[in-house]
Amino acid sequence: MAHRFRSIALLRRSCYQLLFDNYTHSGRRMEAFWVLTAILSVIALFFESSAHTLFPHTPNIMQFFGLIELGFTAIFTVEYVLRIFATPSKERYPLSFFGLVDLLTILPLYILWLFPSLVSTGDMVVLIRLMRILRVLRVLKLLRYMNEAGVLWRSMMRARHKLTLFFGFVAIILCLFGGLMFAIEGGRDGFTSLGTSVYWAVVTLTTVGYGDITPHTPLGRVLASILILLGYSIIAVPTGILTAYMSQELQKGREQRSCRHCHHIGHELDARFCDHCGTQLPTLRSQLIDKKPNNRMQNERIDD
């Protein structure tokens, strides 16, 4: 019995290294496989959405794409089950961001199988399209393998208070200019409600300018010009905030990459060898585990 549990623990560790540890050779190979599979599944989805236009003389083209979707769903289902099996904390992965993404991308086909009456019901067309379009979420799987995405996310979390204050200020400007434009134009030339006027302010402040609603009074045009100039100056603010925090995150990552031979620090996040003595560098993940005993114990639970 003990030997059996030991074999299961070894299998879980192997699955964990394949699916979660992209610093090993096998992990990088598996990472490339999942990236390629996610990209191909999204490309197939786009071809499927325009199949009748691209292949008008092929009557069974939808059946062909159905088989392709069946194959991708089977692959991603196996991935989802293996990730749950390999994760030390069984409830952590299914409730995580990527766990929910993995689940939502395989659900549509199973729902249509379990409830085939939905396909024949005309009132459920919108629901069916929504479930099929959920497959586009597979492109979010690529974020799992982008290390720089973690830097961006941590920077956004650290800057969230400043960004919230900034967007709150922008919302005040939009409501103010929208209300002024509604009062100036007097409900004419498309400014028929306060909500429509705020929509115009959003389009103008972001310098998109659809042109579906335009002011015709001289004062309204002056107000629109001021809002356009404000848009150019405001857009740079969140960019500067995020850039500052991203620089701090990148610098923090460089300080954590230290050589165990000469103790030199300041290496790039993707560096493999010390630029001072040439010794192979440990991975950033392994250094973080060494510095945090609680994290090391969490990862070692897989052997229990």
What confidence category does residue 19 fall into, taking pLDDT thresholds of 50, 70 and 90? Answer: confident
Contacts 24+ apart (CB under 8 A), 295-300: 298/88, 298/89, 299/88
Lowest-confidence pick of 157-161, 185-189, 258-262: 258-262
Look at residue 226 in the predicted model and tell me its pLDDT. 93
Contacts 24+ apart (CB under 8 A), 27-34: 31/145, 34/79, 34/141, 34/144, 34/145
Lowest-confidence pick of 67-81, 183-197, 259-273: 259-273
CB 205 within 8 A of CB 230: yes
- Interval 112-122: pLDDT, tens: 777 766 665 55
| DSSP reduced 3-state for 149 | helix
- To the question of domain 1-144 being in CATH 3.40.50.2300, the answer is no
Map out the domains of the chain as residue ranges.
1-144, 149-254
Residue with tokens 């990209």: 39
CB 72 within 8 A of CB 98: no
Number of Cβ atoms within 10 Å of the Cβ of 286: 13
Q: Which of 8-12, 25-29, 71-75 has the highest mean pLDDT?
A: 71-75
Lowest-confidence pick of 107-121, 143-157, 172-186, 274-288: 274-288
Q: Name the CATH code of domain 149-254 (choices 3.20.20.10, 1.10.287.70, 3.40.50.10190, 1.20.120.330).
A: 1.10.287.70
> Mean pLDDT across the chain, nearest whole number?
78
Look at residue 302 in the predicted model and tell me its pLDDT. 43
Lowest-confidence pick of 175-184, 245-254, 267-276: 267-276
The DSSP annotation for 225-257 comes to: HHHHHHHHHHHHHHHHHHHHHHHHHHHHHHHH-
CATH topology of 1-144 equal to that of 149-254? no
Backbone angles phi, psi at 225, to 5 degrees: -65, -40
Rounded CA separation 73/94 (Å): 17
- Interval 192-250: pLDDT, tens: 888 899 999 999 998 887 888 888 899 999 999 999 999 888 888 888 888 888 888 77
Share of residues in the chain with pLDDT > 90 (%): 15
Look at residue 296 in the predicted model and tell me its pLDDT. 42
- Interval 133-175: pLDDT, tens: 777 777 777 777 666 677 788 888 888 899 999 999 999 999 9
